[in-house]
Structure 1
Amino acid sequence: MYLTPAQLADGQGARLEIAQLFELDVDLLAATLAGDDRSAWTADEIAAADATIVTIAAVITRADGEIDAHLAQRGYTLPMDPEQFPVLVTWSRAITRYHVQIQRDRTNEDTGRIERDYRDALRALRLVADGKLSLGAGDPLTPGSTEPSSVQSSSAPRRFSRAALRGQ
């Protein structure tokens, strides 16, 4: 898993976004993600928070599957390590947010930004699959040719050598 529900909800703005989408109390969402005491909420509220986490985890699995499909095209050994390649977390977050958003609310004013991030992630993944973009430092598959390249050059003899200019 490249992303966890806690990473998706990392930061007050992200938690608030998820809480609003799923009509949860933001403090309950934070307590659920952290495994803290939730006795201040009703059983129905707690059940809704738990269901939200299950839904988000399923969407993350779908997003990670999209990422893996692109990486497999290039021949990477899966799953990749998100600590070694943090860009995978970024792409998984963008894809997950998009899928969560379209499931819940297509009229949100932030939808344009979420859709842009999603398209950018897919564009980058296509470039990785095509071998035109690296995952970053330590990428086992260098973009471009899979064979080592050698450069050779040749040219005609010099016309204006020192000897030619001296008339020799």
Structure 2
Amino acid sequence: MVPGLGSVRASYPRRLSGGQNGGGGGVSRASWRRRGAARCFGEGSPEKKAATNLQHFFNYVAVRIVLAQLESYNREAYVELKEFVSRTSLNDAETFCKNLIRESPRHKGLAMRILEVRSAYVKTDFEWDNLKKLSFKMVDEANTKLMRDYVLEVSHIEDENYKT
């Protein structure tokens, strides 16, 4: 906890209206946080933004899987998809697939395969529980490291100021 700031939970009001005891139809703490987060992220919640980014990631994974499959059994299709990927950004999953479908009838088949693979990957292969655990761990470790580095930095400055 940062000195002087209290905990994050304590900094939220119990109710935004209706007094301390929550009477009068105020807004709940969770609802208040979600609305605040939505304002910070523009349209949609942080979860919506994360889901969109995951969709782009899953599309990228599906393209890599399909390329690996094609490389071993359909070299011509592999070269065609590889060429398309080299000139088309994978940063937007929907735009990528839309453009691939419209490229040619053969590319449409590749796009359909990518859509199948990304759907199967999301539903059966992706380790959702592991994602949650890793996310918690990474945030905690990053926070600890940043705070430790800051304390070390400040303590050196204070030591030097104390000596002079």
Same fold, TM-score > 0.5, yes or no: no
Task: From the two aligned structures, give the one with the greater helix fraction.
Answer: 2
Q: Give the TM-score, by structure 2 length.
A: 0.29
Q: Give the TM-score, by structure 1 length.
A: 0.29
